Structure 1
Amino acid sequence: MMSDLMKDSEEPSNKRVKPVGKGGGVTGIITPVKTPALKRLGKSITRSISFRTEARPLPPAPIRSRQKASSFPRRRSSQCWSDTVDSHDLTAKEIKRQEVIYELTEGERQLIEDLRLVKKVYYEPMLTLDIMTESELGQIFGTLDSLIPLHEDLLARLERLRGSEKTVGAVGITLFNWFPCLEAYVTYCCNQVEAKALLDMKKQQKRVEQFLRLCQESSFSRKLDLWNFLDLPRSRLVKYPLLLREILKSTPPDHPDEDTLPDALELVQSIVSEVDRKTGEAECQFYRRGLAYLEDGQRLPEIQLSRFLYCHGELKNSKGQKLHVFLFELCLVLTRSVEDKEGCVVFQVYRQPLPTATLHLEDLPDGEGGGGGAFRGAFTSGNDKVRNCLRVSSRGRSKAQSHSLQANDSFNKQQWISCLRQAMVQSRDRDAQVSQSPLSSRLSPDFALYHIAELSLSSDAEMADQSSQ
Structure 2
Amino acid sequence: MSVSTEVILKEEGICLKKVPIGNPLAMLNDFAAQLSLTYGSFAMEILRMQPKGTSSRRGRSLVKGTSLVSLLSPVSSVKKVGHALQRSMSFRNSTSSPSVTIKPYSKPQATPTKRRDSRLWSETVQGNINEVMTKIQIKRQEAIFELLQGEHDMVDDLKLIMKTYRDSMRSLQMLTENELNTIFGTLETLTPLHEELINGLRLQRNQDGTTDVVGKVFLEWLPTVLDTYITYCSNQLAAKTLLDEKKQTKQVSDFLQRCQESPFSRKLDLWNFLDVPRSRLVKYPLLLKNILMLTPSDHEDRQSLVEAIKVAENMIKMVDRRTGETKCRHYINSFEYLDDKQRHPLINEQKVLLCGGLLKNSKGTKLHVFLFEEILVMTRLVTRNGNKAYQVHRQPIPIGNLMVEDLSDGTVKSGGSFRGAFTNNQTYKHTLRINPVDGSSGQSCSLQANDEHDKKQWLLQLRSAINSVKQENGNTMLPTSSSD
TM band (smaller chain): 0.7 to 0.9
Out of 175, 188, 191, the residue aligned to residue 145 of structure 1 is: 188
Give the structure 1 partner of residue 218 of structure 2: 175
CA distance in 2, matches of 1:280, 1:63: 39
1:304-362 deviation per Cα after TM superposition (whole angstroms, max 9, x unaligned): 11111001010011111111110111111110001111x11110000111111111000
CA distance in 1, matches of 2:229, 2:441: 45
CA distance in 2, matches of 1:103, 1:367: 53
- Is 1:340 aligned to 2:380, yes or no? no
- Is 1:265 aligned to 2:309, yes or no? yes
Deviation at 1:73, TM superposition (A): 2.6
Judged with a 3 Å threshold, the aligned counterparts in structure 2 of structure 1 residues 173 and 77 are, in CA distance, closer, same or farther, namely closer
CA distance in 2, matches of 1:140, 1:109: 23
Task: Give the secondary structure class of the aligned counterpart of 1:301.
Answer: coil
Within 5 Å, give how 1:178-189 maps onto structure 2: 178-183=221-226, 184-189=228-233
Asked if the contact 1:298/1:352 (under 8 Å) is kept, the reply is yes
Give the structure 2 partner of residue 386 of structure 1: 428
Judged with a 3 Å threshold, the aligned counterparts in structure 2 of structure 1 residues 127 and 377 are, in CA distance, closer, same or farther, namely farther
- Is 1:350 aligned to 2:350, yes or no? no
Give the structure 2 partner of residue 82 of structure 1: 122
Deviation at 1:181, TM superposition (A): 1.9
CA distance in 1, matches of 2:447, 2:317: 33
Count of residue correspondences:
369
Give the structure 1 partner of residue 470 of structure 2: 428
Out of 89, 92, 106, the residue aligned to residue 149 of structure 2 is: 106
CA distance in 1, matches of 2:139, 2:331: 44
- The letter of the residue matching 1:391 is R
CA distance in 2, matches of 1:181, 1:399: 47
CA distance in 1, matches of 2:390, 2:450: 20
- The letter of the residue matching 1:406 is Q
CA distance in 1, matches of 2:291, 2:224: 21
Judged with a 3 Å threshold, the aligned counterparts in structure 2 of structure 1 residues 130 and 372 are, in CA distance, closer, same or farther, namely same
- Is 1:193 aligned to 2:234, yes or no? no
Out of 158, 178, 182, the residue aligned to residue 115 of structure 1 is: 158
Deviation at 1:215, TM superposition (A): 1.2
Deviation at 1:369, TM superposition (A): 5.1
Deviation at 1:214, TM superposition (A): 1.4
CA distance in 2, matches of 1:369, 1:239: 47
Give the structure 2 partner of residue 418 of structure 1: 460
Asked if the contact 2:397/2:441 (under 8 Å) is kept, the reply is no
Asked if the contact 2:342/2:396 (under 8 Å) is kept, the reply is yes
Asked if the contact 2:354/2:461 (under 8 Å) is kept, the reply is yes
Deviation at 1:399, TM superposition (A): 4.9
Asked if the contact 1:338/1:345 (under 8 Å) is kept, the reply is yes
Asked if the contact 1:203/1:209 (under 8 Å) is kept, the reply is yes
Task: Give the secondary structure class of the aligned counterpart of 2:378.
Answer: strand
Give the structure 1 partner of residue 179 of structure 2: 136
Deviation at 1:382, TM superposition (A): 4.1
Task: Give the secondary structure class of the aligned counterpart of 2:175.
Answer: coil
CA distance in 2, matches of 1:420, 1:82: 52
- The letter of the residue matching 1:213 is Q
Deviation at 1:115, TM superposition (A): 0.6
With CA pairs under 8 Å and 6+ residues apart, which has the higher RCO, 1 or 2?
Answer: 1
Deviation at 1:166, TM superposition (A): 2.2
Q: Over the residues paired in the alignment, what is the CA RMSD in angstroms?
A: 2.3
Deviation at 1:208, TM superposition (A): 1.4
Within 5 Å, give how 1:154-169 maps onto structure 2: 154-169=197-212
Asked if the contact 2:216/2:308 (under 8 Å) is kept, the reply is yes
CA distance in 1, matches of 2:138, 2:114: 29
Asked if the contact 1:319/1:374 (under 8 Å) is kept, the reply is no
1:251-287 deviation per Cα after TM superposition (whole angstroms, max 9, x unaligned): 1011001221112222222222111111111111111
Q: Who wins on radius of gyration, i.e. which is larger? A: 2
CA distance in 2, matches of 1:206, 1:62: 14
- The letter of the residue matching 2:181 is G
CA distance in 1, matches of 2:377, 2:441: 16
- Is 1:409 aligned to 2:451, yes or no? yes
Judged with a 3 Å threshold, the aligned counterparts in structure 2 of structure 1 residues 80 and 417 are, in CA distance, closer, same or farther, namely farther
Out of 314, 323, 342, the residue aligned to residue 298 of structure 1 is: 342
Out of 245, 258, 265, the residue aligned to residue 214 of structure 1 is: 258
Displaced runs of 4 or more, over 6 A = 371-374
Which is worse superposed, 88-97 or 405-414? 88-97
Which is worse superposed, 238-247 or 145-154? 238-247
1:197-219 deviation per Cα after TM superposition (whole angstroms, max 9, x unaligned): 11111112221111111111111
1:222-271 deviation per Cα after TM superposition (whole angstroms, max 9, x unaligned): 11111110100000111111111111111101100122111222222222
Give the structure 2 partner of residue 71 of structure 1: 111
Task: Give the secondary structure class of the aligned counterpart of 1:109.
Answer: helix
1:176-198 deviation per Cα after TM superposition (whole angstroms, max 9, x unaligned): 11111221101111111111111
Task: Give the secondary structure class of the aligned counterpart of 2:380.
Answer: strand
